[in-house]
Amino acid sequence: MPSRNYIISAAIILLLAAGLIFLPEKNNKKELAPEELLQELQNDKRFVSVDQLAVLMIEEDPTLVLVDVRDPGSFVEYSLPGAINIPVENMLEEDYQQYFDRAELQIVFYSNSHILAEQAWMIKKRQEVNNIRILKGGLNQWTKDILLAEAPPETAPKEAFDRYNFLMGARKYFVGASGAFDPAAQGDIVETAPKKVPKIPVKVKKEKELEGCF
């Protein structure tokens, strides 16, 4: 059976090959070494969990930038509140570079699962951008954990009930007091990928960093 490192290495080769489609020649001058990229891919700290992201959103963390890397059509149909749309194929466009040049921002990529978001992460990581994370499980996990959360069995430990209560509170925050799943309640999602990204006002960085998923 192939080793874990072999599988990861093969995945890197495939993802890098796909990423090369989007990398103009002028951007190939400064890249993270393959060995360093492999090391980063073996570290789950690149992920943020649904719970962690929900806390940041509820607290309205001013450093958080949610980036939906799907196509504009999917973004318009449904997206997380406050997210911007940078399709993975547009990840290197100059209009969006201002986000990645600001080290005080916490950028979280997401897609339906986390596969497409991981490709976006690799494209920017090759450019040695460090303030980037991936929503573990993407919108699928967000829907399962928050919008469709089920009560644990009566025999479950206290921690399970504590998390369930948190998820129910988050559901009410994001979809309203009824707690019913209604994508329309996520906010007015009418913008596609903009031609010009508005400047972000300078805000004081919080002394809090995203941690790895649990």
Interval 32-90: pLDDT, tens: 666 666 666 666 788 999 999 999 999 999 999 999 999 999 999 999 999 999 999 99
Check residue 185 and give its pLDDT: 37
Please determine, for residue 183, whether its predicted confidence score (pLDDT) is greater than 70. no
CATH H-level, domain 4-143+182-186: superfamily: Rhodanese-like domain (3.40.250.10)
The number of helix segments (H) and strand segments (E) in the chain equals 8, 5
Which of 137, 151, 138, 147 has the alpha carbon at shortest distance from 185?
A: 147
Angle (CA) 166 74 179, round 5° = 25
3-state secondary structure of 213: coil
Please determine, for residue 98, whether its predicted confidence score (pLDDT) is greater than 60. yes
Cβ-contact 15, 134 below 8 angstroms: no
Q: What is the pTM of this model?
A: 0.69
Across 7-31, average pLDDT: 48
Check residue 99 and give its pLDDT: 86
Which of 127, 104, 69, 70 has the alpha carbon at shortest distance from 210?
A: 104
More reliable by pLDDT, 121 or 199: 121
Q: What is the CA radius of gyration of the chain?
A: 18
Residues belonging to the chain: 214
Across 173-188, average pLDDT: 52
H/E stretch holding 103 reads: none
Check residue 55 and give its pLDDT: 95
Please determine, for residue 178, whether its predicted confidence score (pLDDT) is greater than 50. no
Check residue 36 and give its pLDDT: 62
Pairwise CA distance, residues 173 & 214, whole Å: 23
Check residue 137 and give its pLDDT: 94
CA 123 to chain centre: 14
**12-to-21, 32, 45, 100 alpha-carbon distances in Å:** 15, 13, 17, 22
Domain boundaries, the chain: 4-143+182-186
Which of 54, 64, 18, 9 has the alpha carbon at shortest distance from 171?
A: 54
Beta bridge partners of 108: 66, 133
